[in-house]
Amino acid sequence: MRTARHGEIEIAYETFGAAGDPALILLHGLGSSMLVWPEEMCAGFVDRGFCVLRMDHRDSGLSTVLADGARYTLDDMAGDVMAVLDAAGCDRAVVCGYSLGGMVAQVAAAAFAGRVAGLVSISSHTGEPGVGDPSPEAWQALTTPPAASVSAQIESDLAGYRIWSNPEWRNEQAEREYLERSYRRAWHPGASERQFQAAARSGNRAELLRSLDVPTLVIHGSLDTLIAPDGGRRTAELVPGAEYLEIEGMGHELPPQAWARIITAITTLSARIRW
């Protein structure tokens, strides 16, 4: 495990592949960690010629956990991404974010245009009111207060997965093992609320997205009930020249059934970039 420093914040990250290959940095969603991007999926990107970085956002995993009441924005989190690229010796990278990570990636593409060679926004939205809204059941699960123990938190997370994942694609035993591994590594009850507020504080990104001049790929699942597919469609509509890929059968998840399509689409995007 390596660390990068952004002011007083330390960001944990890992790398896969050869340092000289085109860089792809993977950003995870709300309340999770870099383990959302499994090593097997990272290896799939390496096989396509990428040097892969995955990182823990602030208030996640092994990165700095802030005090209750700490305030920050998506811009601060985008700065964390650049700190990781600096530490890893990467001048430019394809910045790929899932869910909350997609929001951070969008902001990074605007704030650090010279360093974001390509943007990939997966299962995310634009911050506009009424765009990508969750179903009532998904919203209730998302806003459930933190549990009092790891075992109770795992059950709460699994209940959420049952709402926003494709039941035909789920493997609950694998999900349970992933959650147990994640929470053995780090458990920060309440930290995700600060991340949630960072996204809310950053507001509507429509004008920011219209201003982008970077090769962009937007991916969304057709069955996503946590961030509805119109969130992805609207993102692709706003970014000039963006490509949109809707994966039939995918919910709010990164399931093995979708890895090949995601890896191929990102590889195709990278081929358009002058590295």
Total structural domains in the chain?
1
pLDDT (average), residues 17-29? 97
Is residue 123, in this structure, part of any structural domain at all? Answer: yes
Query: Mean of the per-residue pLDDT values for the chain?
Result: 97
Is residue 169, in this structure, part of any structural domain at all? Answer: no
pLDDT in tens, 58-103: 999 999 999 999 999 999 999 999 999 999 999 999 999 999 999 9
- Quick one: pLDDT at residue 29? 98
Q: Which two tokens stand for residue 56?
A: 């823990």
50: CATH: 3.40.50.1820
Is residue 181, in this structure, part of any structural domain at all? Answer: no
Is residue 37, in this structure, part of any structural domain at all? Answer: yes
First to last CA, the chain: 27
pLDDT (average), residues 110-123? 98
DSSP assignment letter at 253: S
Is residue 93, in this structure, part of any structural domain at all? Answer: yes
pTM, two decimals, is 0.98
Counts for the chain of helices (H) and strands (E), in that order: 10, 8
Is residue 47, in this structure, part of any structural domain at all? Answer: yes
Its domain, for residue 98, covers: 2-133+189-271
The rounded distance, in Å, linking the Cα atoms of 241 and 213 is 9
The strand pairing partners of 3, in sequence order, are: 12
